[in-house]
């Protein structure tokens, strides 16, 4: 088995390069897996990205992957290896992985081992990926920060006193810090794009129905979809090729086409948000600087950029909140364990249980009308561009109002649920409406603050434009100085 690659060189490889090395045999899955497990061992205590590390199972899976490649090599049909052959990844701890506890980030649940893989894990394992463990999430994936009562908070690799975002915060931190080459996330209100923005990654939320394994049965509003968190657009494209059924993917796949430059597009810049009426928010200068930088790059690439003024229905916040929190109201939690929920979850669970079915149906109906009206306004442009986040990555504990730095864990949860929720909506005011509309959107890093924190822009595309968004991300990534 020829390698010639040092551990440092393995860390520097993109996911696409690493996949090529595994396919060719230049690297074995065992040495790659051992490298990433060693990196997790060295860094995770500070970072808090992983809740559970499944090192023994990962090495067993890597051994099986290497045996499979040897068998294919003997038969001279190496090209028939699965597309993610031997690639280490991790799943956020809302996704079932066979034999591993699923905590859902909640101390109120019994953490039983999952009897089988969930749809997302099964799909990626079928393509040859192997799991290194489960990553940190907020309780039930409800928040834009990944802090809970189960394990230490997930921290931002660029500044350990700050959050990596949520709800795919642990996965984003792990990718950004080099603990895994890339990762699947899930996004129901910004949960891929928010941590991608905070951690300087490319994070793609595909459109509704594009990734069959990404949805959940308790999602009446059809908000949640799975998508990639990656360091480059090309890496994100590779993961999309595994997530999207071949007959529904672009001709040749995402990776084969991601380097092509999309023709001149009409791009509308917008700072309007459906949350502004109930939570007027300030936009930090670094967020505006990111949008300015993104605008310059898009214009230089030949796209026509103009201002887009969007009018949103002011009934949106209540309707979205009702739909977003309906699932936690029906979660099976033993009465004696309710006190172990975080204040935000407990408050929104109680409100969801008090809300009548007719009120929920009314909210869902309003969201469908919101989707229709908003897409009609967006249709004047090919792409809508916003900052990904209105503020720089927030300090650990900032949302909960506890004032703790996260240096000690567990900590006391302070503040109230409504202030917590308000802060999240002010931090990420351009995320959730994209889920309601079922449109694809990507966060792309384009700017670095004076303190070294990454900032990104969000590009919202038309239905079916996932490849186009990745092509734009690839173009920004090659021309930017972030």
Catalytic residue ranges: 92, 167, 191
Helix/strand/coil percentages in the chain, nearest 5: 45, 15, 45
Greatest CA separation found in the chain?
A: 65
Cβ neighbour number for residue 6 with a 10 Å cutoff: 10
Nearest-5° Cα angle at 142, 111 to 162 = 95
Rounded Cα distance between 416 and 413, Å, is: 9
Q: Which of 460, 482, 476, 481 lies closest to 294 in space, CA to CA?
A: 476
Q: Give me the residues paired with residue 386 across strands.
A: 458
Kind and range of the H or E element at 92? strand 88-92
Rounded Cα distance between 41 and 461, Å, is: 39
| 8 A C-beta contact, residue 123 and residue 239 | no
Rounded Cα distance between 448 and 477, Å, is: 13
Cβ neighbour number for residue 276 with a 10 Å cutoff: 16
Kind and range of the H or E element at 324? helix 316-330
Q: Which of 66, 8, 64 lies closest to 39 in space, CA to CA?
A: 8
Rounded Cα distance between 178 and 231, Å, is: 10
Q: Burial of 342 by CB count in 10 Å (0-12 exposed, 13-18 middle, 19+ buried)?
A: buried
Residue 159 backbone phi and psi in degrees, to 5: -165, 105
Cβ neighbour number for residue 425 with a 10 Å cutoff: 23
From first CA to last CA, the distance across the chain in angstroms is: 37
Under 8 Å CB-to-CB from 373, ≥6 apart: which residues?
313
- Contacts by 256-264, CB closer than 8 A, 24 or more apart: 257/467, 257/471, 258/233, 258/234, 258/467, 258/470, 258/471, 258/474, 259/234, 259/471, 259/474, 260/471, 261/301, 261/471, 261/475, 262/468, 262/471, 262/472, 262/475, 264/302, 264/303, 264/304
């Amino acid at each position: 088995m020829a390698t010639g690659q040092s551990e440092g060189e393995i860390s520097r490889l993109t996911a696409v390069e690493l996949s090529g090395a595994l396919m060719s045999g230049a690297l074995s899955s065992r040495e790659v897996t051992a490298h990433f497990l060693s990196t997790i061992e060295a860094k995770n205590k500070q970072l808090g990205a992983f809740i559970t590390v499944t090192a023994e199972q990962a090495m067993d899976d890597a051994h099986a992957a290497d045996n499979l490649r040897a068998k294919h090599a003997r038969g001279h049909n190496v090209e028939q290896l699965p597309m993610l052959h031997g690639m280490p990844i991790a799943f956020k701890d809302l996704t079932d992985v066979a034999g591993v506890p699923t905590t859902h980030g909640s101390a109120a649940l019994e953490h039983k081992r999952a009897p089988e893989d969930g749809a997302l894990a099964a799909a990626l394992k079928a393509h040859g990926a192997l799991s290194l463990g489960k990553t940190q999430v907020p309780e039930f994936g409800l928040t834009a920060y990944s802090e809970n009562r189960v394990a230490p908070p997930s921290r931002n690799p660029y500044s350990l006193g700050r959050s990596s975002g949520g709800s795919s915060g642990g996965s984003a931190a792990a990718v950004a810090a080099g603990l895994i080459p890339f990762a699947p996330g899930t996004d129901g209100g910004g949960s891929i794009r928010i941590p991608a923005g905070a951690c300087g990654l490319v994070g793609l939320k595909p459109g509704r129905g594009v990734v069959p394994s990404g949805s959940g049965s308790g999602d009446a509003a059809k908000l949640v979809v799975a998508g990639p968190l990656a360091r480059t657009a090309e890496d994100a494209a590779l993961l999309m090729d595994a997530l999207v059924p071949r007959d529904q993917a672009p001709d040749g796949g995402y990776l084969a086409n991601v380097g092509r430059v999309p023709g001149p597009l009409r791009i509308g810049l917008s700072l309007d948000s459906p949350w502004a009426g109930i939570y007027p928010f300030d936009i930090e200068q670094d967020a505006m600087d990111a949008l300015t930088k993104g605008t310059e790059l898009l214009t230089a690439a030949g796209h026509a950029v103009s201002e887009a003024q969007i009018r949103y229905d002011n009934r949106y916040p209540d309707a979205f909140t009702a739909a977003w929190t309906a699932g936690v109201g029906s979660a099976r939690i033993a009465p004696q364990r309710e006190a172990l929920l975080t204040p935000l979850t407990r408050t929104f669970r109680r409100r969801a249980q008090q809300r009548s079915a007719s009120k929920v149906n009314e909210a869902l109906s309003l969201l469908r009308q919101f989707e229709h009206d908003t897409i009609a306004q967006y249709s004047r442009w090919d792409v809508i561009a916003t900052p990904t986040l209105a503020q720089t990555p927030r300090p650990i504990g900032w949302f909960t109002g506890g004032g703790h730095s996260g240096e000690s864990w567990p900590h006391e949860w302070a503040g109230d649920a409504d202030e917590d929720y308000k802060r999240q909506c002010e931090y990420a005011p351009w995320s959730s409406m994209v889920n309601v509309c079922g449109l694809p959107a990507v966060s792309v890093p384009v700017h670095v603050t004076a303190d070294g924190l990454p900032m990104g822009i969000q590009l919202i595309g038309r239905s079916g434009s996932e490849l186009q968004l990745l092509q734009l991300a690839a173009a920004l990534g090659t021309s930017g100085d972030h």
